[in-house]
Each structure stands twice: as C-alpha cells, then as structure tokens.
Amino acid sequence: MRTGNGGRVDRSRRINFSFDGRAYQGCAGDTLASALLANGVHLVGRSFKYHRPRGFVAAGSEEPNALVDIDRGNGRSAPNLRATQVELYEGLVAKSQNRWPSLAFDLQALNDLAPAGLFGAGFYYKTFMSPRGAWHRLYEPFIRRVAGLGHAPKLPDPDHYSQRYAHCDVLVVGAGATGLAAALAAGETGAAVILADEQAEMGGGLLDERTASIDGLSAANWVGATLARLAAMPNVTLLPRTQAFGYYAQNFLGLAEKLTEHLAAPDKSQPRERLWKVRARQVLLATGAIERPLVFPDNDRPGVMLASAARTFANRYGVRPGERAVVFVADDTGYGAALDLHAAGTEIAVIADLRTAPSGPGFEAASGTGLRIMPATVVTGVSGNLRVSGVTLGSLAADGTVRGGEKIVCDLVLMAGGWTPAVHLFSQSRGKLAYDSERQIYLPGTYAQAAQSAGACNGTFELAQAIAEGHAAGAVAVGTPGTRSFAVTGAIAPAGGFHGAVPHDRNPEQVKAFVDFQNDVTAKDIKLAVREGMHSIEHIKRYTTTGMATDQGKTSNMNGLAIASAALDKPIPDIGLTTFRPPFTPVTFGTLAGHSRGALLDPVRQTPMHGWAAANGAKFEDVGQWKRAWYFPKPGEDMHAAVNRECRAARSAAGLFDATTLGKIEIVGPDAAEFMERLYTNPWHKLGIGRCRYGLMLNEAGFVMDDGVIGRLAADSFHVTTTTGGATRVLAHMEDYLQTEFPELKVWLTSTTEQWAVIAIQGPKAREIIAPLVEGIDLAAETMPHMSVREGSICGVPTRLFRVSFTGELGFEINVPADHGRAVWEAVHEAGVPHGLTPYGTETMHVLRAEKGYIIVGQETDGTVTPSDLGLDWAIGKAKKDFVGKRSLKRPDLVKTDRKHLVGLLTADPKVVLEEGAQITVEASPATGTPALGHVTSSYWSETLGRSIAMALVAGGKGRMGATLHVPMPDGGIAVTVTEPVFFDKEGGRINA
C-alpha cells in the first residue's frame, strides 16, 4: 500500500518491526501507524466496553483507538501509546490491547451483542447494584479485567528522567505554519524563544500539503527554510517531540520532551524523557485544530478514519490507507483529502456531502477532476467487521428524513466533519472561551494570562491568514508590532462542518453511532442520559463517560455537546463546557518524578565520620535525612549482643558516639540572652559564660516542642543544640518569633549544624582518654564541671569542648570544624582503645539515656505533652515574666491531675521486654473497648541492670507509683509495676565524676 514516491519517509531504509508477534517492514520516517497501514493492517485494537474491532481514526495525538503496548524488555514497557505517535525503529515490538485471545477473535466481543441498555449510559450505576458488597468482591475486579486499556508495567522502570527549568520571552506551542511564523517574528528580534512541537518533525499540517506553496516555495520547502533560519538563531530553542501538556498559573507550562523513545538502541546513560518547567513572559498558542468525526451508524469500523488522517498517511508517509474510498464530508477540506488520495492512487468511489449545496475551492477542484459527488447524502451504515467492506448511503431530505439506500463497495471511509480549534491549553490557562455560533466552535475569548492564540486554534483556518496572524502575534509578543503578508497558493481551508448525530433511517435502538471511540460512548447513550435527567454537560459527561478517556474527548467533545443540545433543544453554549485539564496527552510518571527516585528521592545526609563507621561495620538507621550509625556489630553478634557490649563498655570504660547530627544554632547579639529567655522555658540571663543548661522549648499551645543542651560562649553568644529531627523546625520557629513578635531584639540566628563534627565520649575513662590530646583547657572536675563548655584545641584542631552527658556518665562532646571530624575521631579512638573505648550507635545511646530517664522529644512526647507531664517542672523559670507557651500552661486542661504522666514501668518478669507503643490498662485482659490508660513510649533490655526497663505515659501516673498495671498482648496481659522513670544512678554521682 506504499505509494511510488513522495512523502517524507525514506523508502531505501527498511525498518523491521513486529505487531502482535507478526513481523513487518516499514520505512525510516514511518510511525507505527503508517507502517502498519503500509502493510494493509487496519485492525489495531478492541474497544473499551464492547470489544469492537477498531482501526486508526486519526494520524496524530488525537487518536482515540490505536493504543498499543510497546515493550523493549527489562521493564522498559509502556501501555496506551498512540500508534500514530510511535516512531518506528528497528526491532520495535508492539502489541494490541484489550483483546483475548487474539485481536481478530476476541471472546468479549460478545459484549457488543448484549441486549441494548446492558452496557448503555450509566450501566455502572444500574447493573451492579446488588447484592451489596459484591461491588468490591466481584463486579469491580471483573470490570477492571475486561474493560480496559493496557497493563501497567510490573517491573521497576530502569530508565532515568531529567528535568529542566527554563525561562523565555516567548514560548510558542506548535510548530505548524502559524507557530513557525510566530517563532520567526519573535526570534528575529533576538528575544529568547522556545518552540515546542509534539511531533518528531516540525511543520505541522504543512508536512501534509501536496499542492500548497508559501512565498513561492512548496510547503515542505518553506518549512525547511524557516527551520534552518530558526536553528541558526542562538536565542531560539527548538524542541521537537515535546508535548506542552499543562498550562499553569503565571505562564508556567509543563513540557514533556521525548529523548530516546524513537531510537533502536538508546544510550542507557541518556534520560528517556525530560520535563521542561518553562516560565514564559508571553505564551503563543499555535496548537491548530482537530478534525471531527461524523457520528453515523458503525462509524467505528476499521477503515473508517478522519479525512485529514488519510491525507497525512498519503502525503506525509506515502501510504495509501485503502484502495477504494467513500468520502463523507460536511467540510470543504474533505474534498482536498479526496483529491490527495485520488492523486495517490486510491479510487474515490463517491464523495457523499451532507450539505445540499456544497461549494468552495475543494468542491470545485473535485468537480473539475471528475470525482463523483453526491450532495445531501449521508452514510447510514458500514458493512464489514474487521475491516470496512462497504457503506450504505441515504439521501437527506429537507425535513431531515433519510431515504435509503445505495450500497457502495469500499475498503476505506473518510470522515470530514469540520474542524475544532484546539483550545485545550488556552482553557487550562483559565482563559474564558467564547462561542462562535455561526461556525459552532469555541474560540479563545478572554485571556487570563499573558498569552495569544493564532492560526487554526484561534479560528483562523485560512493558511495565508494563519501564517500572517502567527507572524503578527510573534511580533506583538516581543513588543515590536508589525504585519507581514505571505503569498499562499493551493491550500484548501476548512469551510462548513457538522455537529452532532448524522440523521439515518435505521432503528436507533439497534445501531451504534460512536461519539467517543475510546470510551465506547454512542449518540444513543448521550440521548439516554438526557432522558434520565442529566441536563448539564458535567452530568452527561460523568454519566456516559464521554470525553473521560485518556484522549479527553479530543475528537468527541463537540459532537457530544451537539447531541445533548439537540436532545435538550437548547443552544450548545447553554449546556456548558467541561473544563480542559492537564495533561493534554498522558505523561509518564517517570517524567514527572524526574530525578526524585531511588537514591535521589531525597538527600541522604552523612556525617564526616560516616566513612569510618561504615568501614568499621556499623549498621545505619535513618533519622530524617541523616544516616546515623545504629550499632557496631562484631563478627557473629546480633543487634542485642552488640548493644549489650556497647552499653557495658560505656558504663565500665568509655564509649565513642557520633553526635554530629544534633541541630546547632548560634545565637549572637546583645539581646541573645533575652531572646533565649523568651523562646525557652528556662532562665538564661544569669547563666554564666562557659556554663551549659538543659533548655526546654514549648510551642504556643504549651506542649513540648524540642529540647537540648545550650552553652553560653560569651555574654552575647549562645551555642544551642536541638534534636536531630527538630533542627530545621526549631530554627524556623525562632526566626518566626524573632521577625514577627520580637523584631526589636538585636540578635541573629545562624545554623551551625554542619559547621561542627561532634564526637561524644562517654564513660568513666572519658577524661583520662582525651586529656593527652587536649590543649588550652583544664579538664579537671573542679575547673570544668558537668554542664560546662570551653574553647581550646584537640590534636591542634580548634574545639568547642562541652562537658555534657546523655548517658549519665562522665562525658564530653568534642566539637571540631567538620573537615577535621574524621581525623580527630580516629585520634580519639586510637587513644582510647587501650582503655577499652568502644564505638556505639544510636541504639545504645537510647538504652543508656533510658536507664537515666532522659526523654527523647518525639518518643516520649507526641505534641500533646507538657513539661509537667514529663516531670520537668524544674526546667520552667517560675519567676520569668513570659516565654512562648507560658500562658497555655495555665489552661484548665493542662493542669488536670489525670493527665498522662511519664512514669517508669518494670515488668514482673525481668526478662520480658515490652513492646513500644503497647497499651496500658488496669486489668490484664480488659473487655473489648476498654480505654487504655496510656502507652509504652520506650522499652529496652538494660544490660546494666540485668533486666528490662520501660517508660510510659500513663493517665494520673504520678499518683500510681508502686501500682500494678497491665500491658495486654495477644498472648495475655503482662503485669508491670509503675515506678519513677529513673532506673540507674539516681543520685547522679557518676555524671559529676
């Protein structure tokens, strides 16, 4: 079916591909659609609901039927691709969808024979109503299996995707005649222009022209010359294979660029697609128009296609889509298509024109060529199942009745129903559409953003006018208005058109005239929906699903509106118009996710000592974005054995711990102490320089938000630490108050979390180990007591040395500039090994602090816990006039005595370790529905104590000391005794050693 010459394919380069397991050959430059048609294949899919055989309707992105699955293997598969947009490459493997066992013989095609109404409008709501519950068990799984499109890939996508922000003066969407002229006008001024087009080759409809010329050049040569000029402009970016799919606020558009999809052997290092996030000063929409099918009985048979599609296949791809065609027209461009097919060697059996008095250059030319033309004639039926074999014609009388019917043998039926401007992006931009009642089309009306439309999408169908409009719009977009005229010959413009259901003489209950091919919605369905009370297009759409398929009704919306309009006897604009939503064509998830997947889903933060921990066998846990060393198992050790060993070492000798991830904020300025006074519950004015204090931060509601040890470095300078996870939140909270509530305070906040590597050494031998390494600081207990900070150096590296402890042991936290962290860590480790110094991770840290009853914000607290609940009343500066949260602490609810208090729990059986999160009740086996008194917040095996320990929040806990409560578990209740939450060294002798 390949023509002898012409078109834009390279007949000398044969491309092998397969469809449904059968091998075919196409040419370089083919799409899968044109290559299949060149092989005489029209049957490419089964319809969504009725499983009717389907062929190509269109040749571009509006194609509703020809959805295929392309599988490159190893997870590189994509369903629901429009065969009309799939570029052919060597070895391409395509499969049809929604058929079983085969495309030609599909058992579910029985759906097509089902009694009228079973699968009609709203059948979801009517057919599957009872029994209740069967929807989830039976109906929905069944419908999902039989109705449908392609299958989502099951393997992870092995490709990667890129994203790019871009800014430009003018974004031109669509590189047809109008868009090219617009880009040229804007580009010539030196403005930054991006020209995006969904097709592999730019030129749009000009690539389909056989006879048109522009300024003396053939259409194709004019495209070539214009593209060459644009490509030579460094300020112009040409993006072919790029779908502008979404138009968002403030001229922000999403563009999906296909980079490797057309290649036989893509370089795996290249991204498959790139998402362009474009911010344009001016947007110029040159998105063209989409031809409408005519709605007549059996208009969905393979071999029935849009006239424009047949023209594209013949002229651009050199493919005759049939041997003998019936051309059903309501618009002059249909004659152009007939002439082009005639020239390509397809016999034109007849041109049936719905209009009584056709006119126009296309009509004149067809008449002049001697093609048989029948005015006032409609197609009333199509024979053939897997492929058109003929049509029945009827004459349309002035009263709208149809009398039949000449039968014509043909293998191709073309539909030329007129053109619908592609206003999708304009509508997405929140522009208001205006209805042109004379031509029955919606056009861009009031603009909501800095945009213009030009050419066919603006209703300017005539080629010379469209190019001139595009050029003028391009000039206006860059602020240099001017007009230019283009000399065009040989082009046939849209004129005429028809909307709605074509009249016929058949029994309306027994025929299917399709409006929405992809969702299998017929004219009958829309009429039924109207009869059943759906009078707004929003209701009709949802009830019938018209326009709701992956093509979003590109070919069906206007016909659907017109049918509803006729049924309701109301003008089209009164029925409303559904909102166009992004994406214009489906966008793969990978493109939207971009870099944000796998290892790059989120930043993975590592401390300067991470490499050492990894090299020494550490297991890591995620704490926010940080990787923290969890425990350091020795060969043969499980987590418990490792943690027990680490705990013993820290209590008996010393442990080494990476505390770098703790948030750090430097608070500097003459009002630093006053600021601290207001943000923390504790008093700060009198804290001595070189001393530290445990700080407690509340939110405005009086609940504990964060805590940490804070050192005073100077009269006007504090070194604040926060929880690891709270670092960002706390700084934002502080800045919020400083800027909005206390702008008068002269103080500045700087995050220093990453300035310092923090090496915690904890244990009775801590001082002994680091003493030889430290210079300029007297470490003696009398001169440097617990909760103090000094500046000096360690191993020659400047340090802020804190004497603090989160373990209950004598301990130091060595802060060194981060670049030096690893080296100092190694030096301390080396010095400590002879003393039994043992690295430990976060798990041991948790156990050691729990033995001392130290809370972890976020573990013992959940955003509803007050200082008093935690037994931290001592941390509240009672004499303070105010601090954030102070007023809330007096709320009646926060002073009730039956609030949940932090307590310790000791199991009756010391070997039993409670589950964190377990509920706590009075009875061992409470009745179902009994409210819990609270829950276990922390629970560990304490190697130090040789038994389990736990902390919990328990209602009225302070009054339950010594009481026995229960933790009900599936195997029965576990008896526990309520205690103070401090289990070890209650006097604190060790910490002050």
Partner 1 sequence: MPDLTRSRLTPLSSLPPAVPGVSYSAAPAIARLLYRGSDGAVAAGAAFGVALPTQPCSSAIAGDRATLWLGPDEWLLLAPEYETLAVQQAIAAALPGIAHAVVDISHRQVGLRLDGPRAAAVLNAGVPLDLSLKAFPVGMVTRTIFEKAEIILWRTGPVAFRVEVWRSFAPYVMAIMAVA
User: Which residues lie near partner 1 (CB under 8 A)?
Assistant: 160, 162-167, 192, 271, 277, 279, 595-596, 599-600, 602-608, 611, 625-626, 666, 668-671, 746-748, 750-756, 772-773, 775, 795-797, 817-824, 827
Beta-sheet pairing, 236-239 with 193-196: parallel
Q: How far is the CB of 711 from partner 1 (least distance, A)?
A: 15
Distance from C-alpha of 642 to C-alpha of 646, rounded to nearest angstrom: 6
Q: Are 187 and 233 in contact (CB under 8 A)?
A: yes
Place of tokens 């066998």: 617
Structure tokens at 927: 């009745």
Q: How far is the CB of 950 from partner 1 (least distance, A)?
A: 34
User: Residue 551's closest CA among 42, 80, 77?
Assistant: 80
Sequence-separated (6 or more) residues with CB below 8 Å from residue 638: none
Q: How far is the CB of 818 from partner 1 (least distance, A)?
A: 4
Q: Which neighbouring-strand residues pair with 894?
A: none
Q: Which backbone phi and psi does 574 adopt, to 5 degrees?
A: -75, -15
Q: How far is the CB of 24 from partner 1 (least distance, A)?
A: 36
Q: Are 179 and 187 in contact (CB under 8 A)?
A: no
- Looking at the Cβ atoms of 486 and 748, the one nearer to partner 1 is 748
Tally DSSP H helices, then E strands, for the chain: 23, 51
Q: How far is the CB of 675 from partner 1 (least distance, A)?
A: 12
Q: How far is the CB of 908 from partner 1 (least distance, A)?
A: 46
Q: What is the CA radius of gyration of the chain?
A: 38
Angle of helix 523-531 relative to helix 557-568, nearest 10 degrees, comes to: 40
Q: How far is the CB of 620 from partner 1 (least distance, A)?
A: 14
User: Residue 953's closest CA among 989, 981, 915, 982?
Assistant: 981
What CA–CA distances, in Å, run from 389 to 61, 109, 410? Answer: 27, 19, 5
User: Residue 802's closest CA among 760, 842, 844?
Assistant: 760
Q: How far is the CB of 545 from partner 1 (least distance, A)?
A: 38
Q: Which amino acid is at 262?
A: H
Q: What stretches of 384-467 adopt beta strand conformation (E)? A: 390-396, 402-409, 412-416, 419-421, 432-436, 441-446, 451-453
> CA angle at residue 741 from 735 to 747, to 5 degrees?
50
- Looking at the Cβ atoms of 92 and 731, the one nearer to partner 1 is 731
- Looking at the Cβ atoms of 756 and 940, the one nearer to partner 1 is 756
- Looking at the Cβ atoms of 449 and 752, the one nearer to partner 1 is 752
- Looking at the Cβ atoms of 669 and 690, the one nearer to partner 1 is 669
Residue 165 in 3-state DSSP? strand
Q: How far is the CB of 594 from partner 1 (least distance, A)?
A: 8
- Looking at the Cβ atoms of 354 and 824, the one nearer to partner 1 is 824
Q: How far is the CB of 794 from partner 1 (least distance, A)?
A: 8
Distance from C-alpha of 656 to C-alpha of 641, rounded to nearest angstrom: 17
Q: How far is the CB of 739 from partner 1 (least distance, A)?
A: 11
Distance from C-alpha of 26 to C-alpha of 48, rounded to nearest angstrom: 28
Q: Are 230 and 558 in contact (CB under 8 A)?
A: no
Q: Are 845 and 806 in contact (CB under 8 A)?
A: yes
- Looking at the Cβ atoms of 357 and 599, the one nearer to partner 1 is 599
Structure tokens at 855: 């809370």
Q: Which neighbouring-strand residues pair with 282?
A: 170
Sequence-separated (6 or more) residues with CB below 8 Å from residue 218: 209, 212
Q: Are 62 and 81 in contact (CB under 8 A)?
A: no
Helix (H) or strand (E) holding 194: strand 193-196
DSSP assignment of 893-906: GGS-TTSEEEEEEE
Ramachandran area for residue 985 (φ above 0: left; ψ -120 to 50: alpha; else beta)? left
- Looking at the Cβ atoms of 163 and 859, the one nearer to partner 1 is 163
3-state SS string for 878-896: CCCCCCCCCHHHHCHHHCC
Q: Which amino acid is at 520?
A: D
User: Residue 44's closest CA among 360, 440, 517?
Assistant: 517
- Looking at the Cβ atoms of 156 and 972, the one nearer to partner 1 is 156
Q: Are 703 and 692 in contact (CB under 8 A)?
A: no
Q: How far is the CB of 603 from partner 1 (least distance, A)?
A: 4
Burial class (CB in 10 A: 0-12, 13-18, 19+), 146: middle
Residue 395 in 3-state DSSP? strand
Distance from C-alpha of 603 to C-alpha of 627, rounded to nearest angstrom: 10
Q: How far is the CB of 825 from partner 1 (least distance, A)?
A: 10
- Looking at the Cβ atoms of 116 and 823, the one nearer to partner 1 is 823
- Looking at the Cβ atoms of 386 and 823, the one nearer to partner 1 is 823
Structure tokens at 347: 């016999």
Q: How far is the CB of 822 from partner 1 (least distance, A)?
A: 5
Q: Are 538 and 576 in contact (CB under 8 A)?
A: yes
- Looking at the Cβ atoms of 585 and 815, the one nearer to partner 1 is 815
Beta-sheet pairing, 441-446 with 377-383: unpaired
Q: How far is the CB of 36 from partner 1 (least distance, A)?
A: 36
Q: How far is the CB of 607 from partner 1 (least distance, A)?
A: 7
Q: How far is the CB of 614 from partner 1 (least distance, A)?
A: 13
Q: How far is the CB of 284 from partner 1 (least distance, A)?
A: 19
C-alpha 522, offset from chain centre: 33
